[in-house]
Structure 1
Amino acid sequence: MDKSFAIELIEQKLPKKRFEHSLRVAETAVKLAEQYEGDAEKAELAGILHDFCKYDDLASMYQNVTQYELDSKLLSYGSEILHGPVCAAIMKHQYHLNDEDVLLAIAHHTTGRQQMTKNEKIVFIADYIEPRRTTKGVEEIRDMVYGGIGLDKTIYEISKRTVLYLVKKDVNVYQTTIDCLNYYNFNDSK
């Protein structure tokens, strides 16, 4: 899939604000790929497409989980978790996008996971820090990653903040996110 088709696809489906967010994530992913020697083209494509299913109705997402034989545990979660894996499955099966690195980056852009590829890391971080994000503490995360602290330490910090936020809200935390947090916690004695 080429970049112009991907942009056209999301522009037709997403609300204007989410479309613009996706383009900013793609731009941020390119910057990070250049800084950390990732594949800028793949990171950009994943950044463009990552929220393609963000506003799909929940029943449709659940059907996709079953149809594409995704992790059945996803059926216990809402669209915040589902839209990444469902989007990757739709891109693969309906749009014939077969680049595993791009698909993994789309699938895990919200949850992270253990042993992410470089481009998964880049898109995960880019989605969190794109220029219009105003999440409390986002400037610290931007300083970390642009200051050269590294992708892995930045992923740990994002995962930690995400888990703490979800716990405070009494929301179930997807196991993959906890696994990501633990995997990238280099302070833990392993």
Structure 2
Amino acid sequence: MKIDQAIDLVKEKLPEKRFNHSLRVAETAVKLADIYDGDKDKVELAGILHDYSKYDDLGSMYQIVQQHNLDSNLLSYGSEILHGPVCAIIMEEQYGIEDEEILLAIKNHTTGRAQMTLTEKLVFVADYIEPGRQTPGVEEIRDLAYNQGSLDIAIYEISKRTVLHLISKDINVYDATIACLNYYNYSDERVKDD
């Protein structure tokens, strides 16, 4: 799929605010790819498409989880977690995207996971730090990613803040997010900086 096709596809489906967020994520991912020697085309496409299924019907998402034998634990979560894995399936089956890195970046952009590919990392971080985000502490993460060359540490900090936020709201934390937190807590890059 070409970038202009992806933009048209997302623009037609998403509310304007979410569409603009998707464009900013793509732009941010490309900037990060420039810093970390990533594939700009892959991260741009994944960034544009990552929230395509964000507002899909929950029942339809549950059906996709079951039909494709995705992690059954996903059925305990709402669209905040489900839209990534569901979107990856839709992009592969309905739109012919076959690149595994792009599909993984879409699938895991919300939860992260242990041992992410570079493309996954770039989209995961870009989704958190794009210029429209005003989350408390986001400037620290931007500094880690843009100025300190610390992508793995940025992932750890994002995961940690996500887990702490969910716990403070008594919301269950998806297993992949815990695995991401634990993995990047012990990453070589983070240990060297301690």
Q: Note the C-alpha offset of 1:148.
A: 2.4
Q: Note the C-alpha offset of 1:64.
A: 1.0
**More displaced stretch, 178-187 vs 75-84:** 178-187
Q: What root-mean-square deviation, in Å, do the aligned CA atoms of Structure 1 and Structure 2 show?
A: 1.0
Q: Is 1:21 matched with 2:29?
A: no
Q: AA paired with 1:116?
A: M
- Post-superposition Cα deviations, 1:97-156, rounded to whole Å, max 9, x if no partner, equal 000000000000000000000010000000000001000110111011111242111100
Residue 81 of structure 1 aligns with which residue?
81
Residue 72 of structure 1 aligns with which residue?
72
Residue 60 of structure 1 aligns with which residue?
60
Measure, in 1, the Cα distance between the counterparts of 2:42 and 2:165: 30
Q: Note the C-alpha offset of 1:59.
A: 0.6
Residue 91 of structure 2 aligns with which residue?
91
Measure, in 2, the Cα distance between the counterparts of 1:76 and 1:34: 37
Q: AA paired with 1:13?
A: K
**More displaced stretch, 177-186 vs 60-69:** 60-69
Residue 106 of structure 1 aligns with which residue?
106
Measure, in 1, the Cα distance between the counterparts of 2:68 and 2:133: 32
Measure, in 2, the Cα distance between the counterparts of 1:158 and 1:27: 19
Measure, in 2, the Cα distance between the counterparts of 1:95 and 1:69: 20
Residue 32 of structure 1 aligns with which residue?
32
Q: AA paired with 2:15?
A: P
Measure, in 2, the Cα distance between the counterparts of 1:150 and 1:90: 32
Q: AA paired with 2:135?
A: T
| TM-score normalised by the chain length of structure 1 | 0.97
Measure, in 2, the Cα distance between the counterparts of 1:175 and 1:71: 10
Measure, in 2, the Cα distance between the counterparts of 1:106 and 1:40: 15
**Structure 2: gaps (5+ residues):** none
Q: Number of aligned pairs?
A: 188
| TM-score normalised by the chain length of structure 2 | 0.95
SS at match of 2:52: coil
Measure, in 2, the Cα distance between the counterparts of 1:35 and 1:149: 8
- Post-superposition Cα deviations, 1:35-78, rounded to whole Å, max 9, x if no partner, equal 00000100000000000000011111101111222111100101
Residue 123 of structure 1 aligns with which residue?
123
Q: AA paired with 1:165?
A: H
Q: Note the C-alpha offset of 1:161.
A: 0.3
Measure, in 1, the Cα distance between the counterparts of 2:43 and 2:69: 25
Equivalences for residues 34-53 of structure 1 within 5 A: 34-53=34-53
Q: AA paired with 2:171?
A: V
Equivalences for residues 123-142 of structure 1 within 5 A: 123-142=123-142
